Amino acid sequence: MTLSLNCKDAGDPVCTHTMYGENEEELLQNAKKHGIEVHGYTEETWNDEIAKNKDHFRKLIKTT
């Protein structure tokens, strides 16, 4: 079972990148990497974003 999360679904109006992971932890690590490399998050701002919106992001995760 592979999990996926699309950046546009998560709130970015332009980015259509999809992150994948074999479990939620791996998926969120890949989303973090993408957020830092592409969207300018820092470790701190990413952790703040996840702390505030983790339930929202969980609802957007799809099984592929």
Note the pLDDT of residue 64: 84
- Does the CA dihedral 6-11-13-14 come out positive or negative? negative
Average pLDDT estimate for 12-33: 96
Neighbours of 17 (CB within 10 A): 15
| Report field, pTM of the whole predicted structure over 0.85 | yes
The answer to whether residue 1 scores a pLDDT higher than 90 is no
User: Is pLDDT at 40 greater than 90 in this prediction?
Assistant: yes
For the chain, give percent helix, strand, coil, nearest 5.
Answer: 55, 15, 30
